[in-house]
Structure 1
Amino acid sequence: MAATMTTTLSNQQVALGGSVPPLTAHAISVSLPTWRDVVGYEEGEQRVVNAMVSGYPRFFIHLSIQKLARICEQKFGVNGERCLLCPTRKVAEACRAYLVDRSTKAGSPIPVRLVQFLICPEGEKDCANRGIELHIVLFPGDSFPLAKQFWQHTGLCISSRLADRCLSMLPEEAPVARSPTAPSFVRPPTKPGNRHYSNKSFSWTPETSPPLSKSPSSGRWSPAAPGETLSSDQDTYVEERYGRNLPLESAAFAKRALRRRIAGVLVRDSPTEWSIAGGQEAEVGPSTRGVESVSEEDVFLFSTGMSAIWAAHQLALGARPAAKSICFGFPYTDTLKILEKWGPGCHFLGHGLDKDIVELERILERESANSSSPPALALFTEFPSNPLLRSADLPRLRALADEHDFLLVVDETIGNFVNVEVLPYADIVVSSLSKVFSGDANTMGGSLVLNPRGRHYAALKAHMAQSYEDSYFDEDAIYMERNSRDFKQRIEIIDGNTLAVCSFLRARSLAAADAGPRTVVKEVFYPKWQTAVHYERCRQPGGGYGGLFSITFTSTAASHAFFDTLRCHKGPSLGTNFTLACPYTVLAHYVEMDWAAQYGVEEGLVRVSVGLEEREELLKIFEDALLAAEAAVESQ
């Protein structure tokens, strides 16, 4: 298996601002090759900003979406209004509610307008079936950073593929009707308070994904050379003709296959069985997710992993009595923002260690004494956490949830259900499918699974039946189904590679018995060594420890030298089929690094997501980076 699924580290260096993966129109990462580049990105440095043609989709609005938004602003905007584009009216209303709520709390509510725009293919008579309904949220131009928060936190707005579809149906040469007071779109750059909510614009995009060609030697698919770029229709034909993608008309089939794959009910689920995975003839059986009664009907798909988390919180707010939520452990940044900004707020226990459960018990007892309602709405935790790879004591949290009648929501993105099984302890399990489930880093997606054995299952399922809407764009689902066919096989290779790299680095760290004065590695964060007893309790037979680890150093000079020397892709995201690294704290918490440090997330932390490369080649690049870190310290 490994021989047919490896990739190479050679020629992986991508210029600053280029898409990662290279030559991929819908790439979900961007190249930030040096520590200085990452800092420049956070500070809005023109050298970096002007180079960027890609980025993580919830932080960087894809250039196709920007282009479509400009058209909508010209067509419908007045008095300098800007807009966000939403796939459904319900999402647009949620966006409006957020803008009004947050601006009111800041002192002055802003006016927000909703416009429904039905886009029809040129010359198409049956627009109801072939058209796309776009929902436009218009607001004052200077409120764009606030609107960007909604985009980032919820992950609910339109995807780049949906934007491309809309653009393909709009006449290219037709002039756009414009109000005399519509905004000018040449905007001077502004210095952002928070880079993630910035008001910057960018100016170039490839219009289609490069076609894929299959290597006879490796068996893997890769982008064709730049000179071979095809049109969107040709690209779709190539994908479907050679069996890589299902036809676009088979989106319902693809989504059913995804839900069955996530539910663990497919009796045969391998790269050779994909053609029937979503069909009626597919053989399904009891779930392998640790709860046999789980079915595809308990799995709900979303456009991003964060939208699945947002939906889980909205589900809890809608189905349970109002109360604060609990965030247990240091989470990915937007999970905490969701719990803080929607509903009554949350209690944050940022270390996620056993001592925090003692504090949790005090909070529950105090809240119970003050109210006859449950003391908490829901507890959210990652298993393991990002970036410290800590795993909570799920049986103990489950017992507290039962005792005090709150929901337990577990994000399994980092662990993934091949390696760990957390569903038996949870009421709701969420995951970002954009990560290792996909691997190819060219599409987004998320999932939410209800535990049918949970005490609140009936109420949660009934609420989902009323509130859930499928806004996952069909073409994104088609790509996700394609990418996930070999998910289980890839995990085994990635697990082995990561364990080898982490073992090598830990043997050269302060944790080693023979650590000497030249040692620069402070700590390697990996589930094998972090809160290991809790991880092991949930580890599947034969499961590994995942593909993500973090590393800290004895000095900032060592951190910078290690990262800059590492010969792999550098940028946001994780779970890719190729190794990907980033200075996580700088990238995710640049304006709050002192706060993050209180919870052990140091400024110099480097997070690494290991891929499918040849193991010896991987070990060599980490050895070279480590030697550079040691040399940097010695030269001081």
Structure 2
Amino acid sequence: MTVTSTVARNVLVGLSLPPHTPHAISVSLPTWRDNVDYEEGEKRVTDSMQNGYPRFFIHLSIKKLACIFEQKYGLKGEKCMLFATQRVAEQCRSFMQDRSVTTRLLSLLICPEDKTHGRIIERDGRAEADCTSTATANIHIVLFSPDAFPIAKQFWQHTGMGISSRFADYCLSMLPEEVTQTGSPSPPPTTPRFPGKAFNKHYSVKSQTNTLSRPASPFRDTPIARKANEVETLDPDHSVYLEERYGRNLPITFAASAKRALRRRVAGVLIRDTKYDCQGEPCAGEKDLVVGPSSRGVADVSEHDVYLYPTGMATIWNAHHIISAVRPSAKSVCFGFPYTDTLKILEKWGPGCHFFGRGIDSEIDDLEVILEAEAARHPGTPPILALFTEFPSNPLLRSANLPRLRALADKYDFLIVVDETIGNFVNVEVLPYADIVVSSLSKIFSGNANAMGGSKLRHTPSLVLNPGRRHYAALKAHMNANFEDFYFDQDAIYMERNSRDFRRRIRIIDVNTETVCDFLRSRSVAGGAPAESTVIKEVFYPKYITRENYDHCRIKTPDAGGFGGLFSLTFTSGAASEAFFNTLSCFKGPSLGTNFTLASPYTILAHYTELDWAAQYGVEAGLVRVSVGMEDTEALLRLFEVALKAAEETRN
């Protein structure tokens, strides 16, 4: 196959990734300029946005539903945010009130007695008696003045607890057509610009035909590959058909079984997982299925220690919230340069945090000094609440020294929360060192980039609780009393189906990534290439970065224990970064862990308003992050060879 380097072969700016996916969690930003213009709020890009990463971009369906409620219930042009439970809505209201914003909270019941008589009922205690339908939707609305929208957006973005686009579609489907036809998305409120640089997230959208250019596609023969090479316009019914067929959807009646299967899969208790249905139901979710001791490194972990949330960031916010509820108040620690919202959560909720932005062993010495000082100042009280770390980190792929951190946690009585999204539990075993393990299931666990989800366990991805740790009983009791399942059923169904073959996919991606990284590092300064003949400075990948710490947790079996599917590159010049990115013929957009290769100028997208700050920790403005997919290995290598040649030509 001949691979060309023309950027025009990528999906057009603003369209969904994967293509033709109504609920995609990535969006095409195919050139460096597109990404900068997106951050600057240039209309050329923002007016083209039909989709985006869900916590940064409000999906058209959610905007439409919000517009209906704003028109019906808003006073003096009020805007609103939508949530699935009253508790989350109250948490949003509290966040805004703490910042001196006046809000109103309204709880509604959507009751579709039939398509022409669907009703919205205010929850005043009589709603259930007034509604005879079994297919209803509860929705909770926080209303506020338009100029407070940026503050509401902070809660939406940082916590990841807003409604999903599928939930919005479900609500819209139960409303009469005369209501939904008048509820077209309203223009976004004007957001203030920050000094020095543009405000970096936008919700602007514009209706347009869903047409795409043919991407250079070295994919194996997959539905994504076949559909990505077609040029067509999709009507809504066709879009739904494609997602249901290639998402291998199940009837909504199987939602409980799908969630049970997900919890077992995450807990590692399945004797045998399978990609086949058992009489139409997920085999892993059968009530009488035989399960065994967890394979996650802590035998007592069960599916009942796993809690599912709508997004990965929701698991981090809730982990912090739960620990704060059962432990004395204190600052937390963010160890290592994290994905941006993790640090924001620790800074904006509670008394703040200590930030160790490099996440290297020498910083553990600095941490120990703080712990000793705080313990001496307040004897009998834990010096910190909890330590949060990623394993490995995003985007520098550094792995913390978990055994040493665990020893400090036991000595000073604080909890450890590990985000294993990047490493994933096929490759690493971090459970023995953590009190809580969180993960974004929408990444490689799903792979299809068409469903949000996160989980936690006191030791796994999602929110999982580890029965082997001293604070397990308090955490478990709190979860039993307070946990709300607001993971939308349809999203869970897609996630369960997507994840059935995640181990097989991870093995393919691990091999692809290691092959590509070995090639690129051989052409880098860090890999020994002469500085005058290369443009790559460093390849950030667990095989080369903090390798000893990663290996300590790496699973060393024949079918597991790779180095993951994510890596980052830094270059000797900005021109080389841009040339490499613009020439690389793969999909370009936010997110990671997709079955297809996906690249982004990570620092531009995540830290555009704070580039100098990020650079202090080695996260350079020209960094390119790549999530490798399942394409043919040799075809992938050719893509990177062409991109590297273009970058090297900038030296002339």
For the criterion TM > 0.5, the same-fold answer is: yes
Q: Deviations over 1:326-369 (max 9, x none)?
A: 00000000000000000111000110000100000001011111
Deviation of 1:187 (Å): 6.1
Query: Take 1:406 and 1:494, find their aligned partners in 2: how far apart are those partners?
Result: 36
Pick aligned residue for 1:87 from 84, 87, 112 = 84
Identity level (%):
61
Query: Take 2:428 and 2:152, find their aligned partners in 1: how far apart are those partners?
Result: 37
Which amino acid letter does the alignment assign opposite residue 419 of structure 1? N
The 8 Å contact of residues 145 and 198 in structure 1, kept in 2 or not, is answered as no
Distance 1:369 1:438, change over 3 A: same
Distance 1:46 1:230, change over 3 A: closer
Unaligned runs of 5+ in 1: 1-8, 104-108, 208-216
Query: Take 1:329 and 1:420, find their aligned partners in 2: how far apart are those partners?
Result: 18
Query: Take 1:69 and 1:184, find their aligned partners in 2: how far apart are those partners?
Result: 8
Between 116-125 and 383-392, the greater mean CA deviation after superposition: 116-125
Unaligned runs of 5+ in 2: 1-5, 119-129, 211-219, 458-464
Which amino acid letter does the alignment assign opposite residue 271 of structure 2? V
Pick aligned residue for 1:322 from 304, 316, 329 = 329
Deviation of 1:513 (Å): 3.3
The 8 Å contact of residues 581 and 607 in structure 1, kept in 2 or not, is answered as yes
Pick aligned residue for 1:63 from 60, 63, 69 = 60
Correspondences of 1:521-536 after superposition (within 5 Å): 521-536=536-551
Query: Take 1:10 and 1:175, find their aligned partners in 2: how far apart are those partners?
Result: 38
Correspondences of 1:66-465 after superposition (within 5 Å): 66-101=63-98, 103=99, 109-123=100-114, 127=132, 129-174=134-179, 185=186, 192-193=193-194, 198=201, 200-204=203-207, 218=221, 220=223, 226=232, 231=237, 235=241, 239=245, 244-272=248-276, 275-372=282-379, 373-449=381-457, 450-465=465-480
Query: Take 1:350 and 1:420, find their aligned partners in 2: how far apart are those partners?
Result: 22
- Helix, strand or coil at the partner of 1:231: helix
The 8 Å contact of residues 566 and 625 in structure 2, kept in 1 or not, is answered as yes
Give the match for residue 541 of structure 1: 556
Which amino acid letter does the alignment assign opposite residue 345 of structure 2? I
Deviation of 1:229 (Å): 5.1
Distance 1:244 1:306, change over 3 A: same
Distance 1:172 1:464, change over 3 A: same
Q: Deviations over 1:381-428 (max 9, x none)?
A: 000000000000000000000000000000000000000000010000
Between 120-129 and 81-90, the greater mean CA deviation after superposition: 120-129
Query: Take 1:143 and 1:421, find their aligned partners in 2: how far apart are those partners?
Result: 43
- Helix, strand or coil at the partner of 1:129: coil
Query: Take 1:205 and 1:252, find their aligned partners in 2: how far apart are those partners?
Result: 37
Give the match for residue 106 of structure 1: none
Query: Take 1:13 and 1:149, find their aligned partners in 2: how far apart are those partners?
Result: 31
The 8 Å contact of residues 147 and 189 in structure 2, kept in 1 or not, is answered as no
The 8 Å contact of residues 513 and 565 in structure 2, kept in 1 or not, is answered as yes
Query: Take 1:607 and 1:126, find their aligned partners in 2: how far apart are those partners?
Result: 51
Distance 1:307 1:235, change over 3 A: same
Give the match for residue 4 of structure 1: none
- Helix, strand or coil at the partner of 1:340: helix
Distance 1:609 1:195, change over 3 A: farther
Distance 1:99 1:187, change over 3 A: closer
Q: Deviations over 1:491-525 (max 9, x none)?
A: 00000000000000000001233425121100000
Query: Take 1:478 and 1:64, find their aligned partners in 2: how far apart are those partners?
Result: 20
Which amino acid letter does the alignment assign opposite residue 441 of structure 2? L
The 8 Å contact of residues 275 and 501 in structure 2, kept in 1 or not, is answered as yes
Query: Take 1:256 and 1:12, find their aligned partners in 2: how far apart are those partners?
Result: 41
Distance 1:539 1:156, change over 3 A: same
Which amino acid letter does the alignment assign opposite residue 119 of structure 1? I
Give the match for residue 564 of structure 1: 582
Distance 1:273 1:120, change over 3 A: closer
Q: Deviations over 1:204-231 (max 9, x none)?
A: 3899xxxxxxxxx936566866467563
Query: Take 1:195 and 1:56, find their aligned partners in 2: how far apart are those partners?
Result: 19
Distance 1:38 1:627, change over 3 A: same
- Helix, strand or coil at the partner of 2:308: strand
The 8 Å contact of residues 68 and 179 in structure 2, kept in 1 or not, is answered as no
The 8 Å contact of residues 386 and 414 in structure 2, kept in 1 or not, is answered as yes
Query: Take 1:353 and 1:467, find their aligned partners in 2: how far apart are those partners?
Result: 36
Which amino acid letter does the alignment assign opposite residue 145 of structure 1? P
Distance 1:10 1:561, change over 3 A: closer
Query: Take 1:227 and 1:563, find their aligned partners in 2: how far apart are those partners?
Result: 28
Give the match for residue 13 of structure 1: 10
Deviation of 1:128 (Å): 5.9
1:518 pairs with 2:533:
yes
The 8 Å contact of residues 551 and 606 in structure 1, kept in 2 or not, is answered as yes
Query: Take 1:227 and 1:155, find their aligned partners in 2: how far apart are those partners?
Result: 31
Deviation of 1:80 (Å): 1.5
Deviation of 1:86 (Å): 0.5
Distance 1:187 1:266, change over 3 A: closer
Give the match for residue 621 of structure 1: 639
Query: Take 1:606 and 1:401, find their aligned partners in 2: how far apart are those partners?
Result: 34
The 8 Å contact of residues 436 and 456 in structure 2, kept in 1 or not, is answered as yes
Which amino acid letter does the alignment assign opposite residue 547 of structure 1? G
Query: Take 2:242 and 2:511, find their aligned partners in 1: how far apart are those partners?
Result: 35
Query: Take 2:316 and 2:189, find their aligned partners in 1: how far apart are those partners?
Result: 35
Give the match for residue 554 of structure 1: 572
- Helix, strand or coil at the partner of 1:421: coil
Normalising by structure 1, what TM-score?
0.91
Which amino acid letter does the alignment assign opposite residue 86 of structure 1? F
Pick aligned residue for 2:595 from 566, 577, 585 = 577
Deviation of 1:549 (Å): 0.2
Pick aligned residue for 1:485 from 487, 492, 500 = 500
Give the match for residue 44 of structure 2: 47
Query: Take 2:518 and 2:485, find their aligned partners in 1: how far apart are those partners?
Result: 43
Deviation of 1:202 (Å): 1.6
Distance 1:118 1:397, change over 3 A: same
The 8 Å contact of residues 56 and 573 in structure 1, kept in 2 or not, is answered as yes
Q: Deviations over 1:171-207 (max 9, x none)?
A: 11149999xxxx9945686564376675643233899
Query: Take 2:189 and 2:299, find their aligned partners in 1: how far apart are those partners?
Result: 58
The 8 Å contact of residues 302 and 308 in structure 1, kept in 2 or not, is answered as yes
Query: Take 2:640 and 2:181, find their aligned partners in 1: how far apart are those partners?
Result: 53
Distance 1:174 1:528, change over 3 A: closer
Deviation of 1:440 (Å): 0.2
Deviation of 1:558 (Å): 0.5
Give the match for residue 3 of structure 2: none
Q: Deviations over 1:294-316 (max 9, x none)?
A: 10000000000000000100011
Query: Take 1:254 and 1:175, find their aligned partners in 2: how far apart are those partners?
Result: 31
1:471 pairs with 2:486:
yes
Give the match for residue 213 of structure 2: none
The 8 Å contact of residues 48 and 206 in structure 2, kept in 1 or not, is answered as no
Distance 1:410 1:205, change over 3 A: farther
Which amino acid letter does the alignment assign opposite residue 452 of structure 1? P
